[in-house]
Amino acid sequence: MTATNPNPPQPDQPNLATNLQKLILVTVHFVIAALVIWWAYSTIKEYNQANFAESTVTWEMPTGVHIKDSPVNFNYDPERQVLTHRGPLDAQQQLKLRALLEFESESTDSGKPPMSTSEVNKAIRGFYLAIDGLAYQSASAQVGQLQLLLLLGFMGGVLGAILRSLVDFIGHACYTKQLDLIHWWPLYATRPIIGAILGFLLVVLLKSRLMASIEVQEGSDSFWWLGITVIGGFSTVDVTQRLRLTAKALFGSSDETKKKPSTNSQSQQEQNNGA
């Protein structure tokens, strides 16, 4: 007859978090979120200022030449003899601005004959050089804009990760009442860091077109980039899975490399079978 154990082993009980631990966790997350939101507000302001930076170049409009109706971000001041452009200026926009130059067939005021071919070519070259000068200044301003964009992605990932942590906290602390910070504290501690890294990488991958499923909005709007990185920080699992698929598509998986026989071994096997 076997004696029964009066105290059978009990399964591991979760170490439920105390109210003080919950308060500290929520306070830390709110403080970090408030600091990041303030930082993001300042970064968006600097980003928009860099995105709409004004480029100016001196250009004297020759007689018999005028500029067609131009976009709102492009202007010519005849008194100062200055061309002005706001915002980024890519190659396609340069072609559009170059097409604005128009020549009069004859001068109705002075009755002078039309411009000669050499004068026309000189006017075209001068206008094209002025547009190139605007493009150079605009490209120089874009360097600081890209740095701010990476910083904005960093902060968006942090905000998304903190939001996800707070949602999980409410679910475990209020609904299931099984919040175990002894085992799950690394998740709450590292999630903002992971979100920041993912937000930074999302900007890099989308800018480099390595993630082609999402069409990047033209104009590089700051709120669009902040929103997409917040979503990335909130759904860290989905983003990491997408990164894994992107890596497999670019470099292949180790399983496929092991299954695929090498060319030398395959040809040697065919020679042995033929012998």
Domain ranges across the chain: 19-252
Q: What does each C-alpha distance from 66 to 62, 109, 172 come to in angstroms?
A: 8, 14, 69
Matching residue, tokens 């964009």? 149
Q: What pLDDT, on the 0 to 100 scale, is given for residue 5?
A: 56
Q: What is the pLDDT along the chain (275 residues), one digit of tens a residue?
A: 455 555 555 556 667 888 898 999 999 999 999 999 999 999 999 888 888 888 899 998 888 888 888 888 899 988 898 999 988 888 888 899 888 888 876 544 555 667 778 888 888 899 999 999 999 888 887 778 888 999 999 999 999 999 999 999 999 888 888 888 888 899 999 999 999 999 999 999 888 888 765 555 544 678 889 999 999 999 988 988 888 888 888 887 665 555 555 545 555 554 554 44
Which pairs with CB-CB distance under 8 Å and at least 24 residues apart come from 57-62?
Answer: 57/82, 57/83, 57/130, 57/133, 57/134, 57/137, 58/82, 58/83, 58/130, 59/83, 59/126, 59/127, 59/130, 60/126, 62/115, 62/119, 62/122, 62/123, 62/126
Give the pLDDT confidence score for residue 274 in this predicted structure: 46
Q: How much is the pLDDT for 197?
A: 95
